[in-house]
Chain A
Amino acid sequence: MAAKTRNPELIRGVRKFSRSAVYHKRGLWAIKKKNGGQFPHHEKASAAAPAPEKAPKFYPADDVKKPLSNTRKLKPTKLRASITPGTVLILLAGRFMGKRVVFLKQLPSGLLLVTGPFKINGVPLRRVNQAFIIATSTKVDISGVNVDKFNDKYFAKKAEKKKKKAEDQFFEAEKQEKVSLPAERKDDQKAVDTPLLKSVESVPDLKYYLGARFSLKDGMKPHELVF
């Protein structure tokens, strides 16, 4: 907010009051008068004397360039106004193409956390990109669900131990690769889905709606459809 200047500009380069008039206006002379002819100031805190730097023991052979520091913090992708917690989304790509899922929250990476619910349509707690969904205007009551514990680290792939395998061992090891879902994931799914199922069942036909896949039929024009 621009404060009201007490020295307005009459024309470019010419202000109303002269230098001395402005000095008088500011009243610094009154402060000086009160403090015995000097404008009050405090002693500058003397900086601690720097410790004498020792000559480094090791110099690299070539001059190593140091990359410029980058303090940029990435924000999560801007969420479309039509997507609010509890919105029913239609997935457009991937394994669950066409499935209607419930949106829970946006994760710090920008991806959206969604769930089927799993019992209704087989979609587990999953991350999905905003670009590959259509947001419908149907909302589900999500107030009973606690999604605080989910973040991107929860969904990170487990780091595989690097093993040096001989050729013949390779085929044997392949069969043991399949890892079953940890019980923690199943419990989290149940914890999120039980209150959600209650609110879904309170709306008639919503359960069947979420269980059905979306597809374009004859005569449907996507640019004219209201979702």
Chain B
Amino acid sequence: MPFKRYVEIGRVALVNYGKEYGKLVVIVDVIDQNRALVDAPDMVRSQMNFKRLSLTDIKIDIKRVPRKKALLEAMEAADVKGKWEKSSWGRKLIVQKRRASLNDFDRFKLMLAKIKRASIVRQELTKLKKNSSA
């Protein structure tokens, strides 16, 4: 089982601990065995321990320690945001966030919708069962 996602300049990672939790950052330089210099469009470039990063599949094409403007252009060109939101990991996070922000009334409406969907499925299933047995 070889590794597929490597720590390299331009690797996009998700912060999984700390103040920047949940943000997508780009590894811009490697400081030493444990730390990387990371940067994102809405944060100040700072160091981060690798243990706080979860590597993603997305990689962008940048030189070591690019200017902020160059980084932003590269992120736009590679469409990091779009790729992330289309990926299954990114979609899962979006759904989790949406579910957590549901209002009490929303949760009630969701329950009604689930019941309705289940009843439709069950009706179709009984139809199929009847047809197969007949």
Residues of chain A whose beta carbon lies under 8 Å from any beta carbon of chain B:
88, 90, 100, 136-138, 205-206, 208-209, 212, 214, 224-227
Contact = CB atoms under 8 A, between A and B. Distances in A.
Interface in B73-103: 100-103
The 8 closest A-B pairs by CB, nearest first: A138-B105, A136-B104, A209-B108, A227-B104, A137-B103, A205-B109, A209-B105, A226-B101
Contacts of B100: 224, 226
Given A138-B105, A227-B104, 18 more contacts: A88-B104, A88-B105, A100-B104, A136-B103, A136-B104, A136-B105, A137-B104, A138-B103, A138-B104, A205-B105, A205-B109, A205-B112, A208-B108, A208-B112, A226-B101, A226-B103, A226-B104, A227-B103
Contacts of B109: 205, 209
Contacts of B104: 88, 90, 100, 136-138, 214, 225-227
- Range of interface residues on chain B? under 10
Most buried by B among A100, A206, A209: A209
19 contacts: A88-B105, A90-B104, A100-B104, A136-B104, A136-B105, A137-B103, A137-B104, A138-B104, A205-B105, A205-B108, A205-B109, A205-B112, A209-B105, A209-B109, A212-B108, A214-B104, A226-B103, A226-B104, A227-B103
Contacts of B105: 88, 136, 138, 205-206, 209
Contacts of B108: 205, 208-209, 212
Interface of B: 100-105, 108-109, 112
Nearest to B102: A226
Nearest to A100: B104
Contacts of A137: 103-104
Contacts of A205: 105, 108-109, 112
A79 B105 CA distance: 22
